[in-house]
A = this chain, B = another copy of it.
Amino acid sequence: MSVITQQFSLDMQGASQIENVTAKIQDYVKESELTAGIVTLFIKHTTASIMIFEDEPGLRADTKDIWDTLIPAKPEWQHNTRNPGETNGHSHLRGQIQGQSLTIPFTEQTLMLGTWQQIVVIDFDSCARTREIVVQIIGE
């Protein structure tokens, strides 16, 4: 059993932008030379998340739409009103519900994803930011 810890960064634009990182994560698993175990994906931010979904243009649009509906961007969030200059109260609330950590099992050096499952970073912030993502592999 070994632990291998990697990290990469992504330039994101906010506003529910989605970036597909499936191939990149699969490459880290291959390079680890481990056969079976788990990959822990962890994004080191509070206004962006890592998730699994079927990555097609309709669902990209629907995902933006549902978050705009459930947790609208509005100046009245207390994160904005109590902290001068802040405009991303909604981004925090979306990020904490969608989550920052994702664990995926692998065997035979291959992520055990279903046919339609893609791994993506979604950025809820109100401006462009560079995001750091940890890829930690534990296995044998």
Contact surface of A with B, Cβ cutoff 8 Å: 1-3, 5, 36-38, 40, 42-46, 51-54, 56-59, 61-63, 65-66, 70-71, 77-83, 86, 89, 92-93, 95-105, 107, 112-117, 132, 134, 136, 138-140
B61 touches A66 (CB 8 A): no
Q: Is the CB of B104 within 8 A of A101?
A: yes
Copies in the complex: 3
Could you tell me if B112 and A52 are in contact, using CB atoms closer than 8 angstroms? no
Having A53-B95, A56-B82, one finds 8 other A-B pairs with CB under 8 Å, namely A1-B3, A5-B107, A44-B112, A52-B96, A53-B96, A58-B78, A59-B78, A65-B78
Q: Which chain B residues lie closer than 8 Å to A81 at the CB level?
A: 58
Q: Is the interface of A mostly helix, strand, loop or mixed?
A: mixed
- Contact between chains at A62 and B79 (CB < 8 Å): yes
Cα of A115 to Cα of B36 in the assembled complex, Å:
32
Query: For residue A97, which residues in chain B have a CB less than 8 angstroms away from its CB?
Result: 97-98
A57 and B44 in contact (CB under 8 A), knowing A105-B136, A112-B134, A117-B100? Answer: no
